[in-house]
Amino acid sequence: MDPTKLRARGFQTGKGARGPTSGGGDLGAWTETPEQKRKRLENEVMGVAAPGSGGAGGAGDRDVRKQRDEETARRVRKLEEKRKGESLYERHREKVGEKEDDDPSKRAFDYSKDMAGGMRIDGTKRKEMIRKAGEFGSKFSGGSYL
């Protein structure tokens, strides 16, 4: 890697921490001989870059990596759902059965149910809230940190 193109970066702990994976013989600027440095600089001035020296292919690599990460996350989610099975709430709901919506004409007056106008949550709102609450696991289960 050309020392003039180095940029400040934080500590790396992943696969990239081991260094470049290209087998092109570029072992770093600190190991190159003066002849290799001269030839490399001449090639850069002439516009000839060594293969894998990080030209315009960076954006394509990023897209491929992102697509691969998304595919991996999808497979992990699918396997986790298969391994975990149903949640305890879903099991309980099946066992008890879905209670029908409360019909005021079939029961006695209850102030908390009948008079709390804005606080009423019908079955569809309740199901929507439960569905949204179930999605919290997926929001925090994975992510991209860079």
Domain boundaries, the chain: 1-55, 56-97
Taking Cα atoms as reference points, which of 21, 19, 30 lies closest to residue 52?
A: 21
What residues have CB less than 8 Å from 49, skipping those under 6 apart?
A: 43, 55
Residue 82: what pLDDT?
86
pLDDT at 133 exceeding the cut of 60: yes
Q: What is the pLDDT of residues 10-22, one digit of tens each?
A: 777 777 666 666 5
Check if the beta carbon of residue 49 is closer than 8 Å to that of residue 55. yes
Entry pTM: 0.27
Q: What is the mean pLDDT of residues 94-100?
A: 71
- Which of the residue ranges 4-13, 22-31, 115-124 would you say has the lowest mean pLDDT? 22-31
Q: Record the tokens describing residue 39, joined without a space.
A: 């030839």
Q: What is the mean pLDDT of residues 132-140?
A: 75
Q: What is the mean pLDDT of residues 71-87?
A: 88
What are the distances in angstroms from CA 58 to CA 4, 47, 54, 98, 143? 19, 18, 6, 53, 21
Q: Record the tokens describing residue 107, joined without a space.
A: 């029961």
Residue 144, φ and ψ in degrees, nearest 5: -105, 125
Q: What is the mean pLDDT of residues 31-58?
A: 76
d(C-alpha 125, C-alpha 28), whole Å: 61
Residue 116: what pLDDT?
66
pLDDT at 145 exceeding the cut of 60: yes
Q: Confidence band (pLDDT; 50, 70, 90) for 66?
A: very high
What residues have CB less than 8 Å from 129, skipping those under 6 apart?
A: 121
Q: Confidence band (pLDDT; 50, 70, 90) for 125?
A: confident
